[in-house]
A = this chain, B = another copy of it.
Amino acid sequence: MGNKQSLDGAGVFRVYLIEDHTLFREMVAMQLKDNPTFQLVGQSGDGLEGLEQCRALRPDILVLDIQVPGMLGTQIAKTLINEIPSLRILALTSCTQNSTYDDLLAAGVHGYLPKDAPLSVLLEAFREFSHGNTFYFSRRATQPTHHDTTLSLLSEREVSVLKLFAEGHSTKIIADKLGICSKTCSNHMTHIKDKLRAHDASALVRLAMRCGLVDEVKE
């Protein structure tokens, strides 16, 4: 594969880090320092600042924490991939939510890594990048990933049920409000859980909040 235009003559990759946990960031930096294949050209704990510096420094690789303050991680990825086509982005994320993963792929990142992955996997990701390959650490054998903004996975009725559930109504009340049998409502809930791969109330509520079905925090 001759697509190593991001690699300069000496075979050294210029790396930039965007990650708000300084401790974490500096420890990743030390991992890189031990490896002569990589040269750390900068780091930041703020999304906007990191974006600006990447524009100026034009690194080969960006290690990007998606949960970074200042700017939405997926937006950073999308913007930079557009402006610097040669840039390879390794996305880090501390949560294992389903939708982020697909959002990241849609944004065009070249690697994905949850923070609860072992260190060896991070090093493997760097190795893959240094060989010009992409790296995906999938927590689940990936599906044909049609763009699911989570809610688009659900039917209209299912969205209604989920919203009412997240608002705190019981199955019976939901069924009542929708004019259906509580059994039907239960079945809808089961389908929702299957589709969203969220088989507990907690995950469902958080998903509903993320999708704006209910207010983030009340009172």
Closest residue of B by beta carbon distance from A95: B218
Report chain B residues within 8 Å CB of A206. Answer: 205, 209, 217-218
Which one of A95, A103, A205 has the greatest number of beta carbons of chain B within 10 Å? A205
Closest residue of B by beta carbon distance from A165: B202
Looking at the assembled complex, report how far the CB atom of A71 sits from the nearest CB atom of chain B, in whole angstroms: 12
A residues with a Cβ closer than 8 A to B are 20-24, 26-28, 30-31, 45, 66-67, 72-74, 92-95, 97, 99-100, 103, 113, 115-119, 122, 165-170, 200-206, 208-210, 214-219
Known contacts A24-B27, A165-B202; A219 and B67 CB within 8 A of each other = yes
Please give the count of copies of this chain that the complex contains. 2
Asked if residues A26 and B118 are in contact (CB atoms below 8 Å), the reply is yes
Report chain B residues within 8 Å CB of A95. Answer: 215, 218-219
How many angstroms from the CA of A27 to the CA of B28 in the assembled complex?
Answer: 8
How many angstroms from the CA of A30 to the CA of B100 in the assembled complex?
Answer: 29
Report chain B residues within 8 Å CB of A205. Answer: 201-202, 205-206
Contact partner of A100 (CB less than 8 A), chosen from B113, B209, B219, is B219
